[in-house]
Amino acid sequence: MAFLEMQGLSSRYGAQEVLSDIDLSIQQGEVVALIGPSGSGKSTLLRTLIGLTPPHRGRLILEGEPLRYEDRASLRKARDRFAIVFQQYNLFQNMTALRNVAIAPEIVKKRPRGDVEREAAQLLERVGLGAKLDAYPDELSGGQQQRVAIARALAQHPAILLLDEVTAALDPELVTEVLDTIRKLADEGMTMIVVSHEMGFVREVARRVVFMDRGRIVESGTPEEIFDRPQTDRLKDFCARILKH
């Protein structure tokens, strides 16, 4: 049985369908990369999984249990099991890195402050920021702030980590430190769905690559199959354009 199963998953904004009949299975520990042109539905799929854009059709089954986004208890469970990191860091500017990571488990989960701060310190060490516990966001580089955001997501103990173009807002020289953090998580067996335009990174880290266009999955396969042996004209055209650069 798949760890996560999407069956005919569809979402819309108003009357416009932005995701259409997504069928996708993900195994525990797998890193799946979503690629495709802007507006193809990649980020919308992540937002749908976490309930920010609830599906209007289809089924989502996590660890053998259907998630029903119209049911408040089921939606809470979905948000307990998924954690998302966006392009923008969205850190609390008046809090240290440690408090940014610890605040949600303390307030939302009602866990003791001492316990969550010890865990937050361990998570910041895990993403290479053990020396920055007391630093405020404006004292950190963009790459360091994004790593705090990743640690904050990990503090939720997610079953699946969703990463939405987490390097897109960074200066080029800061991209590597964030990608190295994601590589480490992949090596540790974290299940991840990654939206990225860093094709070299996708080829290296992803076990499977899903190419999307116009809200649909066009092709899915290993990095070698997608980049070296595309089957559809649409993917061939996409690869011809992006791999020139």
Residue 245 has pLDDT above 70, yes or no: no
Given this model, what pLDDT does residue 244 score? 62
Strands 16-26 and 4-13: antiparallel
Q: Both tokens of residue 63? A: 């660890």
Given this model, what pLDDT does residue 138 score? 97
Amino acid at 196: S
* 151 CB-near residues (< 8 Å, 6+ apart): 97, 101, 120, 123, 124, 126, 127, 129
Cβ atoms of residues 33 and 196 within 8 Å: yes
Mean of pLDDT over the chain: 94
In whole angstroms, how large is the CA radius of gyration of the chain? 18
- Single pTM value for the model: 0.94
**Section 61-85 average pLDDT:** 90
Cβ atoms of residues 154 and 126 within 8 Å: yes
Q: What percent of the chain has pLDDT over 70?
A: 99
Strands 208-213 and 31-35: parallel
Residue 30 has pLDDT above 80, yes or no: yes
pLDDT tens track for 221-244: 999 999 999 999 999 999 998 876
Give the CA diameter of the chain. Answer: 56
Domain at 4-90+158-242, CATH from 3.50.50.60, 3.30.590.10, 3.40.50.300, 3.40.630.30: 3.40.50.300
User: Distance between CA 78 and CA 195 in Å, rounded?
Assistant: 19
Q: Is the dihedral of CA 28, 31, 37, 43 positive or negative?
A: positive
pLDDT tens track for 6-21: 999 999 988 899 999 9
DSSP code, position 244 = T
User: Distance between CA 177 and CA 168 in Å, rounded?
Assistant: 13
Indicate the pLDDT class of residue 116, thresholds 50, 70 and 90: very high
